[in-house]
Structure 1
Amino acid sequence: MDWPEATRYKAVISAQRHRQEIIQDLYTTRDGEPGGMIMELLQSFNRSTGRAPERIIFYRDGVGESQFHNVMVTEMARIRSACNTMKYYPSFTYIVMQKRHHTCFFPATPENVLRNGNIFPGTVVDTHVCHPHEFDFYLCSHAGTKKTEYRLLESDCIPKA
């Protein structure tokens, strides 16, 4: 609610039905009436700042890879409908977070390894192993808790010029 400081937030909670990927209450209430979570957030933003938001960053979690497109298209349509109803026309950034417990990264050099053999927290991988056409990346957001055996492979070494 206070960009660029980003220290004040408004939270809205809505229970989902079991195995339902798409958020139902973004634009309408449970009764099917216009309202919903986005309109509540927009009204709260307007009360707090006295203006409409210029951009909306929508973080989304819990979407299976096979459902990415369907969820994004449906949810963005509902978010835009809520904004249009209130005569707000912000730009959007739609971000889907996904945990990849079976993806492993190993440091390429001994200097880039923690004592337990893991990569440093804050490591971002955004080339080579990512989707060739979509903007995706891997983030190691915190230190790994399990010990990883570290072996420097010859193929990991960069030849000296």
Structure 2
Amino acid sequence: MPAGREPELLDRPLPDAELATAVVVLRAVAGPIRLRLLLALQHRELSIGELTDRAHTHYAAVSANLACLRAAGLVTVRHNGPQALYRSTNPHVTTLVAAALEVTRQPPDPGTEPTNAGTEPRRTPTCDPSSAATPAPAQPSWA
């Protein structure tokens, strides 16, 4: 894609349901623990114990965030005996996370003032994948 050119996807009107599904996905990935979980799951299945170690947080926090990602259709679980193994459902999710991280690394445009100057984190909304303004499918079409 040439520099400064938006993807062709944006050259056509988007149905409300498609936009609502995108909102569900964006809300679901919004949170440092969920971002860590998605990055950890980009190439492999992992147990909740392994994910707890990689997310540097407690089991309960990982479990709640995995539930949010599952509700949005971004993560699935497979049971192997007593062990639950989680995996990402779509490689584009990793691309989305990488793009979000890249946006944070870009300097502000000349002549604009950053609203936060990177000094304080923004509030993370609670995860409610079903709260999009326009009704959306329960899960993205790939799930």
> Does TM-score exceed 0.5, indicating one fold?
no
TM-score normalized by the length of structure 1: 0.21
Bigger-Rg structure (1/2): 1
Highest RCO, 1 vs 2 (Cα 8 Å, sep ≥ 6): 2
| TM-score, normalised with respect to structure 2 | 0.23
Task: Name the structure with the higher helix share.
Answer: 2
